[in-house]
A and B are shown apart, each in its own frame.
Chain A
């Protein structure tokens, strides 16, 4: 199957700083990528849909000014958590869709805000 990577795999930052997470499709072009957040012992929550060359679409309740998404190319989407606070600590997962109906997920990024 197709491979999706994320970088970094984990990050620790101070409260008030911004953190950027990259999501790459390694062997296919992805016009659409998705960002999820997962708190401990909970399921994945869809945050936003990232479309190449256009603005991201955010799910209800997700602050677009806090979670900045850029999909500059067909293989890269970035999620920037701005002015991070401890409550933003979570497991962030991206996924990408190829031409088929399957969706491939990245390995996730563990964010800890001190």
Chain B
């Protein structure tokens, strides 16, 4: 599975959009981009995933560049409850669905 690179931490003001970047320059054509988040002392929570096209759901939007070498997770209106570690994971869909977590980005939403 392709390796991902994320900033260690980011700050965001409450109510503003949080844009979390992820680099995956070695991604293959059949690898998906997944985003999960982990609030302190809880299990990871699924946010969104995509292959090529941009995706949006009730939680967030996922923007994947045309060359698929990077992506951005957007939380449109961050709240204090969005403070968490956000993980960007790239993997092949049929690889027994194994997830290998990187170090993630700690998002601090501040009032």
Does A32 contact B46, Cβ atoms closer than 8 Å? Answer: no
List the A residue with the shortest CB-CB distance to B104. A43
Do residues B43 and A93 form an inter-chain contact, with CB atoms below 8 A?
A: yes
Grouping DSSP codes into helix (H, G, I), strand (E, B) and loop, the A interface class, with mixed when no group exceeds half, is strand
Complex-state Cα separation, A104 to B97, whole angstroms? 11
Q: Is the pair A105, B43 in contact by a Cβ cutoff of 8 Å?
A: yes
Q: How far is the CB of A44 from chain B (nearest CB, A)?
A: 4
Q: Name A101's contact: one of B32, B43, B101, B103 (CB within 8 Å).
A: B32
Closest B residue, CB atoms, query A51? B96
Q: Which of A44, A91, A105 contacts B45 (CB 8 A)?
A: A105
The interface residues of chain B lying within 8 Å CB-to-CB of A4 are 43
Please count how many residues in chain B sit with their CB below 8 Å of the partner chain's CB atoms. Answer: 21
* B99/A43 in contact, CB under 8 A: no
* B68 interfacial by beta-carbon distance below 8 Å: no
- Beta-carbon contact of A34 and B101 below 8 Å: no
Q: Please tell me if the beta carbons of B100 and A104 are within 8 angstroms of each other in the complex.
A: no
A43-B103, A43-B104, A102-B49 known; A93+B44 contact, CB < 8 A: yes
Q: Are A44 and B96 in contact (CB under 8 A)?
A: no
For chain A, the count of residues having a C-beta within 8 Å of the partner chain is 24
CB B33 to nearest CB in A, in angstroms, measures 12
Bitwise, B42-57 to A at CB < 8 A (1) or not (0) is 1111100100000000
A1 touches B46 (CB 8 A): yes
List of A residues within 8 angstroms of B44 by Cβ? 44, 93, 95, 105
The reply on A80 being an interface residue by CB < 8 A is: no
A14-22, A64-72, A82-90, A106-114 - the one binding chain B: A106-114
Task: Judge whether A110 and B41 touch: CB under 8 Å.
Answer: yes
List, in ascending order, chain A residues with CB within 8 A of B49's CB.
101-102
| Complex A-B: 20 CB contacts under 8 Å | A34-B97, A34-B98, A34-B99, A44-B38, A44-B44, A45-B101, A46-B99, A46-B100, A91-B41, A93-B44, A95-B43, A95-B44, A95-B99, A101-B49, A101-B93, A103-B97, A103-B99, A105-B45, A105-B46, A108-B42
Chain A residues in the interface with B (C-beta under 8 A): 1, 4, 6, 32, 34, 36, 43-46, 49, 91, 93, 95, 97, 101-108, 110
